[in-house]
Amino acid sequence: MATILIVDDERSIRRTLRDILEFEKYQVDEAADGLECLAKLKKEKYDVIILDIKMPRMDGMEALERIQVLAPDVPVVMISGHATIDTAVEAVKKGAFDFISKPPDLNRLLITIRNAMDKANLVTETKQLKRTVSKSKVQEIIGESERITLVRDTIDRVGPTDARVLVLGPNGSGKELVARWLHEKSPRAGQPIVEVNCAAIPAELIESELFGHEKGAFTSAVRQRIGKFEQANGGTLFLDEVGDMSLSAQAKVLRALQENKITRVGGDKEIKVDVRVVAATNKDLRQEIAAGRFREDLYHRLAVIIILVPSLNDRRGDISLLAQHFIGQICREYGVSPKAISEEALERLKAVNWTGNIRELRNVVERLIILSGKAITEEDVIRYVMPSMAAPAAPLREVFDQFNDKEALYQFIEEEYLNYKG
């Protein structure tokens, strides 16, 4: 049910409009002036605001300007008994959806409210579509450092081939982006790229996920399932976190790569597949092979070409470019103007130990955009970033071991709490 806020200093007007709108199945709230309107707007979400112009404390024009800052997507319909063409034009220029003279024509008012809500829905859907489209595009690989330039050059040379690629690098460094660019540069770009996160799928389900299963293959197999190899037929299969794959699944993947054929779980029919495999992991597969957790023959099948993606700490010179890129990207997603960032703030970011790599940097930039003022300053980085990057506290067990009994521990916790509150 849509919610409408009526802002008017005349109680009789508010009551009349409330009766009409509630009869039309709208939920209605009231405010007696601009200040009360802004206070309610900070706490509640409204679909339309009906705003009078002449009111005490804060008039409608001033309230309209502040509404455009607090809730720019909420349509505002201005009403006034002292209407002039100049007033109406000024209201629309300041962001009002429409202007209606008092006493309002009820049919026109209801039509205006419906149109305002339709426009608001279209604006919301457009923003969502823009976010979806921007996320669906392959993001650019940002950076000018020697190591990231080598990664780009390798992609350019290897992408047009069908060679299998093993992408190595720490978590959050951009291994998935490398895989997507390998697909984008290949003749298979018009076909799907199918991603499988081997670490997120339980060992007992990974074979069904990769190769599919026949109806009745196991208890919950109520119908046939097409696996990722078949879904990626003609395109690229991206095996993310391949180092976490079970040994039994590794054996089947090896056979699929050798013969370009798969067999669904519970089936006996061989199915031909034409798939380019790109694998990625943050593990040292040589160590995994020595420990007996990864097949050496599968490693050699996957690692025809190896691409090493550097950590962010190994390419600190790219942090300024990455931060500027993320500022533009995130501000577009939020539908706001890009924020400036000072050189001092960028230098502070370069000094951070980026254990989460590119993913962590993007999250930090988003935090700074939300919490900073008109521009991101060095003080913002110190205030909103540095505390979260501090070294973690000692494990709780080490703290507990300092005390001989519970009473002493409870006293310590109480003192720490009082210090925190103070």
Residues 272-305 pLDDT 10s: 999 999 999 999 999 999 999 999 999 999 999 9
From residue 160, alpha-carbon distances to 22, 140, 168, 175, 301 in Å are 63, 18, 20, 18, 19
Q: Which residue type sits at 248?
A: S
Whether pTM exceeds 0.85: no
Coil/strand/helix, residue 70: helix
Q: Is the pLDDT of residue 185 over 80?
A: yes
pLDDT band at 87 (very low <50, low <70, confident <90, very high): confident
Greater confidence (133 vs 53) lies with 53
Q: Which residue type sits at 312?
A: L
pLDDT digit string (tens) for 355-412?
999 999 999 999 999 999 889 999 999 999 987 665 444 444 454 555 555 566 556 5
Task: Note the pLDDT of residue 421.
Answer: 44
pLDDT digit string (tens) for 2-21?
899 999 998 988 999 999 99
Q: Set out the domains of the chain in order of their start, with CATH numbers.
A: 3-134 (3.40.50.2300), 146-308 (3.40.50.300), 312-389 (1.10.8.60)
Task: Note the pLDDT of residue 406.
Answer: 55
Using a 10 angstrom Cβ sphere, with 0-12 exposed, 13-18 middle and 19 or more buried, the burial of residue 123 is: middle
Coil/strand/helix, residue 374: coil
Among 5, 13, 75, 2, smallest CA distance to 34 is for 5
Query: Which segment, 24-28, 76-80, 163-167, 337-341, is predicted with the most confidence on average?
Result: 163-167
